Each structure stands twice: as structure tokens, then as C-alpha cells.
Structure 1
Amino acid sequence: MRILLISIGTRGDVEPFLAIAELLKAKGHEIVCAFPEQFRKMTDDLNIEFHGLNPAFLELLHSKDGEVVMGGGKSLWGKILSFVRLAQKGIEVNKVMMAEQHEITESVQPDLIIHHNKAVYPIYKEVQDHIPQIIVSPVPYLIHHIKGYPHLGFRKKILGINIEKWSYSLANFGLLSFVSSWSKKLKHNKRPGRKALKDCLLNTPLIYTISPSLFSGEIDPDSPVKVLGYHEKSVETHWEPSDELQQFIQRHNKILFITFGSMTNPWPEKITRMFCEILSEYEIPAIINTAYGGLVKLDEYDNALIHFEEGLPYHWILPKMYGVVHHGGSGTTHLGAKYGCASMIIPHIVDQFMWNQLLYEKGIGPKGIKISKISKKKLASKILDLWTHQPFKDKAEMLSEEMQKEDFRSELVEALLTVKIKG
């Protein structure tokens, strides 16, 4: 089959699709990927056809308004204005990306479309042209009600009213309204009705690329939802650690890894200095990963106790670490747990608060602090707890043993390819 994979978002949204692309390519299928332009090299390295989507989505996250929405840093009114501006720009970006998905799909002419929940054009395409599609998500609690949990974008209660079940309907209404509104701009005689779009959405298979060890909630047996494990793309072989990094690791037998991944915030220098002061005061060896700029290198702290790196492959560094402090993206959360790290999350947005609560409930680390509420006193207490409370590490290693045994590759491929048969 000719299979088109579409994903929109950060690295944690794209990497599961690269893993799927590799699995399906190995089975002899012709694979085409459509991701934000920033991920061209990662896809090219796997020798897979690539179509670049507008990079504006990630640029929005790294804009000044994006930093405020993710990290705070302004008055309530300032935050509201930033959110409104970001939402307005986001609507326009989504329209552009819908048009791009339309153009790419028409040029590729796929037999099957596998897409992220943020990439909603394939829902329209199935209704209009009967091209089968399937949704893959690295985060849970979307589209179909999972008992015990509201939709990812909502709290369980609003104004004292339990909206757990309603939250999924509300989110689906918004999604379908956007698809329906956008489809009116296309020049064709027959436009899909709202009921047809809704039926398609609710009957589309949804696969969570999440470890069952990290999934909570009760799935309705009649819903098209499956939890089929966390999947990594093939390991980068061309990357080599510096001599300084290797020497730092050799000098210390217990190290903390600190990273905010692709998340940004309004005060990277201030927060980095906060971490460094705590680490220095309590003599905790740490590697700080500056990545996309949420943390920055401070020359005065680059010494025998604290080592800065601009970007590190997690599969290489995490097995060597005692613990990890991170933003709480799905990928980093899974890899920290998979490699037995005591973990604490500093959540910035949406699903990261859910992962923060989940890791706390699993007992592999203290409950982290929201990035906009962080202070040296609060952070010091949490880091000391993470560093000194041995049960966190013990439970992390037990969880790691469970996750290391998981292998859902066959089930994932079967679930993806069965859709074509039904189609």
C-alpha cells in the first residue's frame, strides 16, 4: 500500500510516527510522511519520502505570546491577551495547514492515511472520498470517553459540575466545527454533512502510542480505542558524546539530568540560575540540556558539578542518570520511566499536567511545580526529595522492568493495516 503519515506538533508528536513509518516500510509498504518542515532531516535520515508542512505551528510556540501562554510571566490580563492573540494566529495557521494537507494528499493519492489528532483533514477526506484513515496519538483522553478521566483539554469539574463525559463531546464539537467550516471553502458540489463527519470521527480507530504501564482509566470495550505501547524510531548512530561529557559522567556515580525539551518560557536565564544555585548548594551533580532555549548555558556554573549540553539523545543519556527533571512531554516521560529514572515534571502546557499527576501516582518522583509558579524555595524542596528519597528510584526501576518487557510492534502493525481491509 501507499501510506501517508501526517503529524503536527513538537518532536514528541512526530517521533511515534517515524517509528510507525519504519515498521510499515519494513513490511514492504510505500511510506510518505508529512510533518512540519523542522523534521525534514530526521525523516530523510530514514530514507522516507517527506513533504514539509508550514513551520509556523512550532514558531508560534516559540513566539513571545507562546512563551507567555506556556510559562506565564505577565499579569492575568497580559496572559489573556497573549492567549487570544495566540488562538487567533493558531486558527489561521490551522487553515493553512489544512490546505497543505489537502494538497499533499491529492498529490500522494494514498491508500491509507495515518494521522495525529491535530491533523484533522483526513477525517474530511474519508467522508468525501472514502480514503480510510486512522488516528494515532502519543497522549490519552481524546475523542472517546475514558472512564475516570475528562478530555485532555478540560478539568473534571467546572464551577462544581462534573463534566467528565461532556468534555469529550464539547471538544469533538469544536473539532468538527472547524473541519466543517474549512470544507466550505473547497470548490466542489457535495460537502460532507456534520452528521457524516461526526460518525466518521467516532468510528475511526484511535491508537494511543502509550505504554500500558503508564495508562490509567477504563476503556469502553465497544469503542475503537487501543493502547499499543510506546514506540521509538531507530537509534541515531552518527552521534558521539564529547570527551568533556564522558569525563563528567565518569567522575560521578549519581547524576541528575535536567531538560525542558522543546518548551520555552519567558525567563530561561532566571530559571537556569535557580537550578544551578540549588545544585551547587546541595552538591548535586547535574547535566543541563539547553535544547530549544527553555534553559540556557551559564558560564559561571559550567564546572565540575554542573555540565551543560545543547542537545543530547535521550536513549544515550537517560540510562546513565539517577533521575530526570523535565517538562513532561509524552516522549520524555516514557523514556525517563523506561530507563528507570526517578522523575519530576515541571509542566508547561496541556498533557504535561496529566503526566505530572500520573508519575506522582506511580510513586517514581514528587509532584512537580507548574513552570509559572516556580520559585527557588519550592524547587529546592522538590529536587532534594527527588534526590534523597530512595523509594522513588526503587519504584522507577520496577516500572522500567515492566516497560522493557513490552513489545507491541506486531499488534500495532496489525491494527494499522486492518483498517485498509475494513475500508
Structure 2
Amino acid sequence: MKILLASIGTRGDMEPFLALGEILQKQGHDIICLFPAQFRSLAEDSGFRFTSLGTAFIEMLDSKEGKAALGGGGTGLQKMAAYIKLATRYKNINKELVELQYKVIEEEKPDRIIHNGKMIYPILWGMKNKDCNILVYPMPYVMHYAKEHAHVAFDGDYGPFFNKLTYSIASLGLVQTILSVAKQLKISDGISRKKIKQALFNGKTIYTISPSLFSKPDYWDKHVKVLGYHERDKTVNWTPDKALEDFVGKHDKILLVTFGSMTNPNPAEKTKMILDVLQKNGIPAIINTFAGGLVEPEAYDKNLIHFVSQIPYDWAFPKMYGVVHHGGSGTSHMAVKYGCVSLIIPHIIDQFLWNDILSKKGVGPKGPAISKLKANVFQEKVLDLWQNKFYKENALKLSAQMQSENFGQEIIEMVEGKNGE
């Protein structure tokens, strides 16, 4: 079959699709990626065909407003102003994204589309091509009601009644967005609020989450499945340099500090604060500056600290004692999978959720938001992470559970089969 993987977001939003693509490619399927242009190399490194959603979305996130909205720094009013500017800019960009989705899908005529909730046209396409589109979510509490937690956008547990209300509010907004896209594309046949809701809630859905961190509620329908965390081989076309290998070789216990694709308005200030705490307490660390949320200064203790501009997590995490990170779904899963303790410094919505989940699982202390990261708080948290053996014991137990999970065949059957059974 020709299978289109369609995703909008940061790099972390691409990774679950690339991992699923590798599983399906091994079955002989033709895999095409429809991602923002900045992620072409990720798709091509995995041997997939690539078609572009343009550069505008990622450029928006990398803008001054994007950094202010997604990172720390500034007052609440400044962040609110940044969100408003970002929303206005996204409204215009999204019209172009919708047109590109429509164009590619109509030209490629895929047999299946696997997509995230930000890709709207595949939902409309799936209403005409029953059981041929599969929604993928890398986090819980985004679509299907869970009694113990509100929708991720509302961040919390307000009791079953109010929790359910938050999912209703979120679904109303999504349905309205889909109606607007249908109007933009002049699609009217068979389109109504009721039918859109049926397509969203009765269609095939995969949560790419480890049951060790979130198990499927028994009141969810059978076409909604929690099918584990999957990762692709990220060491393709990458080898460690000698300086990195030497640094890892001379330290028995190391932290990796990484904010992944997250940025913030004050990367030099954040880096200095983190460096000061690590050096003061003699904690060896590798600091990843990948997207610019952290930056390498001119002077620091090179015996204790090593900077990298990128590093494959599947190479690094097995060698680390723990990870200080932003709390993306993939990073959170990988930290647990490889038995690392975690200190999450959340930047945006779902990262606060993973901060809650991992701290409740006892693999590290609950971390402060990037906007509230101060030296005294960071020192308290990182020393707790470094010294508390309880966290490591729990991380290793969860690691054993996650490493035993194998949902590859279920994913293949759900994608290939008409009924997802």
C-alpha cells in the first residue's frame, strides 16, 4: 500500500510517525512523509519519500513571538501578547497548510493516511475513505475522555464531571476548525457537525504511549488503542567524535541536559544558571544546544561539562545516569526506556503533563516551568535527582517493563485491516 505519514509541529511531532513508518516499510509498504520542509532529512534518512508543507510553520515557531510564547522569560502579559500574535500569524499560515495537504493527498491518492490532530484535511478525506485514516497521538488526554484527568489544554484533575466538560469544549473547537477547512476547500457533501464528530470519535486511533506510563481505560472503544512507544534508529549517518567518547569514558555518572526543539528568549542566561549549579556541585554533564534553547559560552570547566550541537538520544541515554529535559513525549519515554532518572523543565502544554506523570511514577522530582527556573530551585531539584537512589530504582523497574513491550504486529494489523481488528 501507499501510506502517507502527515504531521505538523516540532521535531518531536515527527518522530512517532517516522518510527511507525519504519515498521510499515518493513512490511513492503511505500511510505511518503508530508512534513514541514525543515524535516526533509529526517524522512530521507529513513528511506522515505518526502513531500513538503513549506517552511512557514517552523519559521513562525522560531520567530521572536514563537520563542516568547513557547519558552521562558517575560511577564504574563508579554507571553499573552506573544500568544495572540502567534495565533494571528498561524491563522494565515494554516490556510496555506490546508491547501498543501489537499494538493498532495489528491495527487498521491494514498491507500492510508496516518496523521496527527493538527492535520485537518486527512480527517475530511477519511470521511469519504472509511477506515483508511488513522489518528495518532503521542500523549494522553487529548481526544478521548479519561475520568482521572481533564483535557491536556486544561492541565489538571477537576473531578469526572468537569473533566468530561473540558473534552467537550475541546472537541467543539476542533469540529468548528474542521468545518472552516471544509468551507475553505469548498467541500460540502456529507459534511455536518454530527458526521465530523463521528469521524473523530469512531475512527481508528493509536496512542503511541507506553502502557507503563498510561494504560487504556476499559471504557474506551475497541478502535482506540494504546500501542506503546516506538523509536526509529537515530544513529543513521551519525558517529560520536573522539572528544565526546573520551568525555563519556572518563565519567561513571553523567547527566544529559537537553531542551530538544524548544527555544526561549534568554538562552545564554538559562545556560549560565544551569552551568553554575552543575559546576558548583561537581556534576558531570553533557549539554545539548540543538535548537538554541541552550548555548555554549566561551568559558566553562571542560573537564566537567561537554557541549554538543546534536546527539542521538538512543546513543546517549543508555550511557547517562539521568536527563534534565523539556518533557517532550518522545524524550520522556526514552528516558524511562533506558532507565534514566528525569528532571523535567516544561516549556509548553503537554510537557507539564509528562512532568506530572514521570514525577508520580517516582523517576525524578517535579520540575519548575522554564519561565520559573531559578538557580536555588534548580540546585535543589538537581541535587535531589542526583542523590536520591529511590528515583533510579523506579526508573530501572519501569525500563524493564517498557523494554518488554512489543506492539509492532498490532500496529501493522490496525493499519492494514479495514476494521483495525
What is the TM-score when the length of structure 1 is the normalising length? 0.95
One-letter amino acid of the structure 2 residue matched with residue 132 of structure 1: C
Between stretches 15-24 and 55-64, larger displacement belongs to 55-64
d(CA) in 2 for partners of 1:287, 1:409 = 33
Conservation of the 8 A alpha-carbon contact between 1:147 and 1:217: no
Q: How many residues in Structure 1 have an aligned counterpart in Structure 2?
A: 421
d(CA) in 2 for partners of 1:247, 1:234 = 23
The within-5 A match list for 1:256-405 is: 256-405=255-404
Between stretches 62-71 and 331-340, larger displacement belongs to 62-71
Kindly provide the CA deviation profile for residues 55-91 of structure 1, in whole angstroms up to 9, marking residues without a partner as x: 2222222211111112242233222211111111122
One-letter amino acid of the structure 2 residue matched with residue 348 of structure 1: H
Match of 1:36 in 2: 36
Gaps in structure 1 of 5+ consecutive residues: none
Match of 1:193 in 2: 192
Gaps in structure 2 of 5+ consecutive residues: none
One-letter amino acid of the structure 1 residue matched with residue 106 of structure 2: E
One-letter amino acid of the structure 2 residue matched with residue 281 of structure 1: K
Pairwise CA distance, 1:129? 5.5
Kindly provide the CA deviation profile for residues 351-405 of structure 1, in whole angstroms up to 9, marking residues without a partner as x: 1000001110010101001000110000000011001111111111111111111
The within-5 A match list for 1:408-423 is: 408-418=407-417, 420=418
Conservation of the 8 A alpha-carbon contact between 1:53 and 1:97: yes
Conservation of the 8 A alpha-carbon contact between 2:112 and 2:415: no
One-letter amino acid of the structure 2 residue matched with residue 364 of structure 1: V
Kindly provide the CA deviation profile for residues 254-281 of structure 1, in whole angstroms up to 9, marking residues without a partner as x: 1111000000011110110011111111
d(CA) in 2 for partners of 1:131, 1:404 = 30
Match of 1:93 in 2: 93
Match of 1:13 in 2: 13
Match of 2:174 in 1: 175
1:124 aligns to what SS in structure 2? helix
d(CA) in 2 for partners of 1:118, 1:386 = 35
Query: What is the percentage of aligned positions where both structures have the same residue?
Result: 47
Task: State the superposition RMSD in angstroms.
Answer: 1.9
d(CA) in 2 for partners of 1:327, 1:147 = 26
One-letter amino acid of the structure 2 residue matched with residue 397 of structure 1: L
Pairwise CA distance, 1:45? 1.9
Match of 1:45 in 2: 45
1:266 aligns to what SS in structure 2? coil
Conservation of the 8 A alpha-carbon contact between 1:184 and 1:191: no
Change (3 A) 1:248 1:10: same
Pairwise CA distance, 1:130? 4.8
Pairwise CA distance, 1:48? 1.5
Change (3 A) 1:251 1:219: same
One-letter amino acid of the structure 1 residue matched with residue 102 of structure 2: H
Pairwise CA distance, 1:172? 1.1
Match of 1:220 in 2: 219
One-letter amino acid of the structure 1 residue matched with residue 351 of structure 2: Q
d(CA) in 1 for partners of 2:329, 2:235 = 20
Conservation of the 8 A alpha-carbon contact between 1:7 and 1:34: yes
1:19 aligns to what SS in structure 2? helix
One-letter amino acid of the structure 2 residue matched with residue 59 of structure 1: E
Change (3 A) 1:211 1:378: same
Conservation of the 8 A alpha-carbon contact between 1:156 and 1:163: no
What is the TM-score when the length of structure 2 is the normalising length? 0.95
Kindly provide the CA deviation profile for residues 209-253 of structure 1, in whole angstroms up to 9, marking residues without a partner as x: 111111157342436321101111134243111111111111110
**Alignment of 1:206 onto 2:205:** yes
Conservation of the 8 A alpha-carbon contact between 2:120 and 2:181: no
d(CA) in 2 for partners of 1:422, 1:305 = 51
Conservation of the 8 A alpha-carbon contact between 1:183 and 1:191: no
One-letter amino acid of the structure 2 residue matched with residue 16 of structure 1: P
Match of 2:80 in 1: 80
Between stretches 266-275 and 293-302, larger displacement belongs to 293-302
Change (3 A) 1:49 1:156: same
d(CA) in 2 for partners of 1:8, 1:51 = 13
Pairwise CA distance, 1:163? 2.2
Match of 2:254 in 1: 255
One-letter amino acid of the structure 2 residue matched with residue 199 of structure 1: Q
Change (3 A) 1:129 1:136: closer
2:212 aligns to what SS in structure 1? helix
